[in-house]
């Protein structure tokens, strides 16, 4: 068994029976690091500091490892996977989906989030002189390469436009530009906001106006085996949740009408896809997978995506509570009518009966989604990749950190945890700015 370097997390618990899974995927590792950072930043769990320091050093090292993707100047920044000792992988069969354009923004998002916290600990000099060069290395690559086609996040991946990748690229450049100004490096970030704005515009092209959902890829060719209907945009929504953005639709915030409409549409599509969901009553939460045409290891429901669908609703509930209201639009009306068939479009205040009725029902639905997954949770609580589409029994590699991180993130979201903001102040609807809206510009229903 290859020993792991400090800071490196395995895709699964080391298992001699599945050696091909004992590798270090940057994307998956960063999902874990993000959960750790939330615990450190929001709960003050300083016991995680040594692990995060090691994780940062491991991430920075990966930038400079010459791999099949190239060197640091020609593509190594997009290498997605390494052995646990950080040696590069030669076998292309173990690198399906490489190079991956979501590697630089995944890494940058974690490094920026940690840098922001370090600034509050009077570590500004270290951030500026040591951490910033690594962050900016990824940001420069994103800024100059975001227009290129890339592999998406799911297996088997397809090469094209990826909503997940674009959303991470937008976040990284936006947060990176803000950090650069904060530490006195405005010349380094010149142009990043402009590129981020272009990426944000590109992200809107994934929206399917006809069916009302966010497509996960631009490869919607039947011959390629992808319709664009999948859970990646849902994952992007919860991962890029920023409470200061309110219910901003352009950034696909969890409570936005686009995200809610997409949640309902994609959930319904997966309900028809898995045999195990056929006996679940209409209106109750069912299982979700990666994408409708998934055939990886037989194509089964995933803990990761299924937890994400609950997390989105918890994040939405937290935001509505902070805003003091929720909006039902023409686009999101079908979502809300799952919980109240009589609800009409308009704005519902927190003090009203309809708000309480809707939010109570939505929370119960999200709780039911978690309870559904508990039926397939192993006795030792070590989550595998997914559950069998016919029997509901745990299925796939044990200890998938993508599953574990999603479970922890959903639990934090249920507790009302709101991650620190990554967005620039001028983007989206700021919480607390509702007083700036004239009463005659919105219909307020207190029923």
236-281 pLDDT, tens per residue?
Answer: 999 999 999 999 999 999 999 999 999 999 999 999 889 999 889 9
pLDDT at 435 over 90: no
pLDDT at res. 446: 36
Mean pLDDT comparison of 44-53, 288-297, 427-436, highest-scoring range: 44-53
Handedness of CA 357, 359, 363, 365 (dihedral sign): positive
Q: Where in the chain is the domain with CATH 1.50.10.10?
A: 1-204, 209-447
Instruction: Give Cα separations from 128 to 60, 190, 433 (angstroms).
Output: 15, 16, 32
Percent of the chain with pLDDT over 90: 74
Percent of the chain with pLDDT over 70: 91
Average pLDDT, stretch 92-121?
91
How much is the pTM? 0.92
116-175 pLDDT, tens per residue?
Answer: 999 999 999 999 999 999 999 999 999 999 999 888 777 667 788 999 999 999 999 999
For residues 62 and 26, is the Cβ–Cβ distance under 8 A? yes
Query: What CATH number is given for 209-447 in this structure?
Result: 1.50.10.10
Instruction: Give the residue with greater pLDDT, 297 vs 266.
Output: 266
pLDDT at res. 260: 98
For residues 286 and 237, is the Cβ–Cβ distance under 8 A? no
pLDDT at res. 6: 92
Query: What CATH number is given for 1-204 in this structure?
Result: 1.50.10.10
For β-strands 81-83 and 325-328, DSSP reports them as unpaired
Mean pLDDT comparison of 338-342, 396-400, 434-438, highest-scoring range: 338-342
Mean pLDDT of the chain: 89
pLDDT at 374 over 90: yes
pLDDT at 44 over 50: yes
């Amino acid at each position: 068994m290859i020993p792991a370097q400090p800071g490196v997390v395995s895709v699964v618990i080391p298992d001699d029976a599945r050696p091909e899974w004992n590798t270090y995927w940057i994307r998956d590792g960063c999902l874990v690091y993000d959960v750790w950072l939330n615990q450190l930043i929001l709960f003050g769990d300083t016991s995680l500091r040594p692990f995060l320091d090691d994780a940062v050093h491991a991430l920075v090292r990966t930038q400079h490892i010459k791999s099949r993707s190239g060197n640091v100047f020609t593509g190594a920044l997009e290498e997605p996977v390494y052995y646990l000792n950080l040696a590069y992988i030669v076998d292309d069969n173990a690198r399906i989906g490489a190079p991956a354009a979501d590697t630089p923004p995944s890494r940058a998002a974690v490094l920026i989030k940690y840098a922001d916290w370090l600034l509050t600990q009077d570590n500004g000099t270290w951030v500026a002189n040591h951490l910033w060069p690594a962050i900016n290395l990824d940001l420069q690559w994103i800024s100059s390469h975001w227009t290129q086609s890339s592999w998406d996040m799911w297996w088997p991946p397809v090469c094209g436009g990826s909503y997940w990748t674009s959303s991470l690229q937008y976040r990284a450049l936006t947060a990176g530009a803000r950090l650069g100004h904060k530490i006195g490096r405005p010349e380094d970030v010149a142009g990043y906001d402009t590129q981020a704005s272009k990426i944000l515009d590109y992200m809107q092209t994934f929206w399917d106006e006809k069916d009302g959902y966010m497509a996960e890829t631009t490869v919607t060719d039947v011959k390629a085996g992808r319709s664009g209907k999948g859970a990646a945009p849902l994952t992007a929504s919860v991962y890029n949740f920023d409470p200061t953005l309110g219910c901003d639709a352009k950034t696909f915030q969890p409570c936005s009408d686009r995200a809610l409409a997409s949640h309902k549409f994609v959930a319904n599509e997966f309900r028809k896809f898995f045999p195990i969901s056929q006996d679940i009553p209409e209106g109750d939460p069912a299982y979700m997978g990666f994408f409708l045409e998934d055939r990886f290891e037989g194509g089964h429901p995933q803990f990761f995506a299924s937890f994400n669908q609950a997390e989105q609703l918890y994040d939405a509930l937290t935001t509505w509570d902070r805003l003091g209201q929720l909006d039902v639009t023409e686009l999101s009306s079908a979502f809300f009518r799952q919980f109240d068939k009589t609800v009409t479009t308009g704005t519902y205040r927190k003090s009203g009966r309809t708000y309480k009725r809707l939010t109570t029902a939505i929370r119960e639905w999200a709780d039911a989604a978690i309870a559904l997954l508990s039926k397939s949770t192993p006795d030792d609580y070590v989550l595998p990749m997914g559950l069998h589409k016919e029997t509901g029994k745990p299925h796939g590699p044990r200890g998938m950190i993508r599953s574990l991180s999603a479970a922890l993130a959903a639990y934090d979201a249920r507790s009302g945890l709101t991650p620190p903001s990554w967005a620039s102040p001028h983007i989206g609807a700021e919480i607390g700015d509702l007083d700036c809206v004239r009463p005659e510009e919105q219909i307020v229903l207190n029923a």
